[in-house]
Each structure stands twice: as structure tokens, then as C-alpha cells.
Structure 1
Amino acid sequence: MEDAAETEARVRRAAAGDRAAAEALLAGLLPRVRNLIRYLVRGDQDVDDMAQQALVAILRGLPGYRADAPLERWADRITAREAMAYVRRRRTRDAREGAELALEVLPAPEETARYLARRELARRLDTLPDPQREAIVLHHLVALTVPEVAEALGVSPDTAKSRIRLGMEKLRAAAAQEGADAP
């Protein structure tokens, strides 16, 4: 794993047009970008498209990156912003076209346990209203601060905090109910 100085140097080279540095930087960020998008949106049908758009936005934003925060957190904010914009555009398009959801593809057998854990987390998150789910994912899975969540979602910090609290209360209540329903 490279240190902060190496990352900063690679960012500068990529921002200056060094194709190899840009490719290496984006390849390193791709798994994180894809995972964040999977947690932010319902369903996996558009993850690749959203990831591509997020990586393009990250690449375009490199000249403005300041190394006062880790590159990954900066990229997370851009990814969240791009994913939310994509979802808004998709909702508008789906409402017009009445589009159907894509079928889910099952994972390879060796990835089944991780897949099932991710699906369970996604299932629980899917029970929440979009604003609460998005705030919880950004705060608890991406580890953004409340002000960073607010900025990414375009709301006030109080609204972000409220969404996180209400969503967590709903998740706890649902988990308690599921536990009570278990044999």
C-alpha cells in the first residue's frame, strides 16, 4: 500500500495528464467506488454505469484535490454526489418509460457468504426511505462526518443527523421485531 506522499504524487501526475498514473489511481479507487454505489442505490443494475460516471468526475476533479483529507474520502464524496444525481435522473426516466428492474445475477459459490451478508444488509437498508438509507450509508459505511453527509446530500447538518437517527431507530426496531418473530 502506498503512503500519502506517493498518493499525492500520483494525483499530481494524473492531474497533469499522466495516463498511467490516472489509470493506476482509478483502478485503485474502483472497488471502493463500486461498493459505495451498491450501498447507496437499490439494485445492482446500473452500478457499472454509475461507477464509470463517478470515476470520470473524480478524474476531472483531480486538479482541485487538496491533500488535506485522504483521497478515498474525497473520492467518496464525489461518488455519492454522482450516484445521487444518477438516481435522480434514472427515477425521472423510469417514471416516463415505466422501466422494469433488471434480474439479479447470482455470485460464484466461493463468494456466497459475503454475498449473502451484503444482500442481508442491503435488504435491511432497502426497508428505509431513500433519504434515511442514503444518510446511514454515508455516515456508517463510508464514515463521513455529519457535516460531510449533509454536504453530499445537499441538506443541513441537522437534517442529516435527523435522517441518520430516524433510520437507525427503524433498523433497530425491525431487527428487534425479526428477533421476536424467530422460532
Structure 2
Amino acid sequence: MRANAPCRRPVMVHVEEPRLRAVMEGRREDAEALVAQLLPRVRNLVRYSVRADSDVDDITQDALIAILRGLPSYRGEGAFASWADRVVGRVTFAASKRARVERTRLKQDEEDESAPVLADDAPPEDCILRRRMEKLLDKLSEEQRRALVLHHVMGMSVPEMAEELEVPFETVRSRLRLGKAHLRELLFRQVGHEQVLP
């Protein structure tokens, strides 16, 4: 199923203030338009943050609902896309935490889904690279993966990450450093001397 799914980069979302006001006033058509505008970015951010493809759609839906419900708390002090990304991060990480607790409670082994097989009509080179990176991210610890996604995909600073994850500043830096090193090692093992990253 995912092999044929279009591969998109998380694009910056610019939402006009009148649309936000209209959504807060309860205008359904504006809410639907906002969800349609946010959906590609939210889905990509969730996919980069979770291991199981089967959870992506549910968490994406939860994140979009949280954005709509939380809209009255958006004060307009920063970019709406940054605020929405933080909501997505909180929802995603809460879902990840619930899943870990459930796995522990049931004492089941974590099931890593195999990476999707690429279709015969292979996607563009950058899509292949992103899929390769997703597979590599799946091999990192949850903490390292989360740190790399927050920093490099969501663009959060180390102090913002420390606050979001409720861990010390140095812990975040350590997770980033170790995650990058582990990712580099995995990438090198996978491709050897081939140049993959710019």
C-alpha cells in the first residue's frame, strides 16, 4: 500500500489569519479547508516520528483534531505552522508513549513492520532517499529518533526540545549527537563508500 503512496516533503504551511478566525467561529467549510491544507505536512511529520506505518493515519487524525480543538489557544505570537508542529509533536509522542505502555502491559515483543517494497515505477531519487532514511530511523532508539525528528524535521531548537521532552538540555544534545553518529554508521554500513547525502 505505501509503495504507491506519493512521497512528499513536509511543506511549510502558511495559513491566513481570516481563515483561522473563521475556523474558530465554527465555519465548517473553513475548518475542512484548513484540515486539507495541513494534512500533507501533519502526516509526514507523524510518519517521521513513529515506527509503525499502521499507526500513521490514526495519529494524523488525532493531531488534526487536536489542532482544531486547540486553535483558540493559538495567540498568533509565532508562525501558525510552528504552533501546529508542536501540537503534532505532543500528540505523536503521547501516542508513542501509550503504545509503549500497552506493549509492556501485554508483554509482547515489539513488532517492527518491514519497510514497504518500492513499486516497479520507482519514485524520484529524493523519495528513495527519504524512504531509506525512514528505514534507518526505524533502527535507532526511540529517544534518538525523536530527538533527530524534532530537531531536523520539525526544526526545534535544543532548548525547545528539552522543554517539550521534559529532559535536561545536555540529555537532548547527547541524544542528537549519538543519534547522528548511529545514523551515519548505519548509512555507511548500508551503502559503503557510495555518496548518499549532500
Deviations 1:42-96 (A, max 9, x none): 1211111000100111111100112222111111111111011111112222331
For the aligned residue pairs, the C-alpha RMSD in angstroms reads 2.6
Residue pairs, 1:1-183, within 5 angstroms: 7-95=16-104, 96=106, 98=108, 106=117, 109-110=120-121, 112-113=123-124, 115-178=127-190, 180=192
Q: Distance in 2 between matches of 1:18 and 1:108?
A: 41
Secondary structure at the counterpart of residue 77 of structure 2: coil
Ranges in structure 2 where 5+ consecutive residues have no aligned partner: 1-12
Q: Distance in 2 between matches of 1:111 and 1:154?
A: 41
Deviations 1:89-123 (A, max 9, x none): 12222331738566766565556345532221012
Cα contact 2:66–2:87 (8 A) shared by 1: yes
Comparing 172-181 and 64-73, the one that deviates more = 172-181
State, as a whole percentage, how many aligned pairs show the same letter.
42
**CA 1:179–1:111 in 2, change beyond 3 Å: closer, same or farther?**
closer
Q: How far apart are 1:176 and its partner, in Å?
A: 3.8
Q: Distance in 2 between matches of 1:131 and 1:25?
A: 31
**CA 1:167–1:97 in 2, change beyond 3 Å: closer, same or farther?**
closer
Which TM-score applies when normalising by structure 2?
0.78
Which TM-score applies when normalising by structure 1?
0.83
**CA 1:169–1:26 in 2, change beyond 3 Å: closer, same or farther?**
same
Cα contact 2:46–2:88 (8 A) shared by 1: yes
Q: Distance in 2 between matches of 1:133 and 1:34?
A: 17
Deviations 1:98-153 (A, max 9, x none): 38566766565556345532221012212211101101011011211112222332
Q: Distance in 2 between matches of 1:138 and 1:158?
A: 15
Ranges in structure 1 where 5+ consecutive residues have no aligned partner: none
**CA 1:137–1:102 in 2, change beyond 3 Å: closer, same or farther?**
closer
Q: Distance in 1 between matches of 2:32 and 2:122?
A: 27
How many matched pairs? 179
Q: Distance in 1 between matches of 2:87 and 2:178?
A: 25
Instruction: Give the helix-richer structure, 1 or 2.
Output: 1
